[in-house]
């Protein structure tokens, strides 16, 4: 699939959308369509998407960016310890 944007890493035509907080079943259940917000998406070419050093967000980071409370038990526990 060609996306009409450049890759955010190398500038080649983007082919993929990378979710900074991954689309696991658990994350989809907890955060639903919030995973598809632009702040959670990077547009990448296939080569850069296969690179293992691309950015990722923890649940805590994702929630802080959105200004929401973590929805998982582990996310709530981390917030209580650090917050």
Q: What is the pLDDT of residue 52?
A: 80
Model confidence, pTM: 0.81
Q: Residue 68: inside a domain, yes or no?
A: yes
Q: Residue 6: inside a domain, yes or no?
A: no
Task: List the beta strands (DSSP E) in 21-63.
Answer: 41-44
Other CB atoms within 10 Å distance of the CB of residue 9: 19
| Structural domains in the chain (count) | 1
Cα(8)–Cα(31) distance, rounded to whole angstroms? 24
Q: Residue 2: inside a domain, yes or no?
A: no
- Provide the token pair at 55: 């950015």
Q: Residue 7: inside a domain, yes or no?
A: no
Q: Residue 9: inside a domain, yes or no?
A: no
Distances (CA, A) of 66 to 34, 62, 81: 9, 6, 20
| Domain range enclosing 60 | 16-82
Other CB atoms within 10 Å distance of the CB of residue 67: 6
Q: Residue 55: inside a domain, yes or no?
A: yes
Give the model confidence (pLDDT) of 21-37 as tens digits: 999 999 999 999 999 99
Q: Residue 29: inside a domain, yes or no?
A: yes
């Amino acid at each position: 699939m060609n996306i009409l944007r450049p890759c955010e890493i190398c500038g080649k035509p983007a082919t993929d959308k990378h979710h900074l907080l991954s689309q696991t079943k658990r994350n989809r259940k907890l955060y639903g369509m919030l995973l598809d917000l632009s702040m959670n998406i990077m547009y990448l070419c296939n080569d850069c998407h296969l690179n293992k050093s691309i950015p990722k967000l923890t649940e805590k980071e994702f929630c802080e960016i959105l200004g929401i409370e973590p929805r998982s038990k582990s996310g709530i526990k981390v917030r209580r310890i650090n917050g």
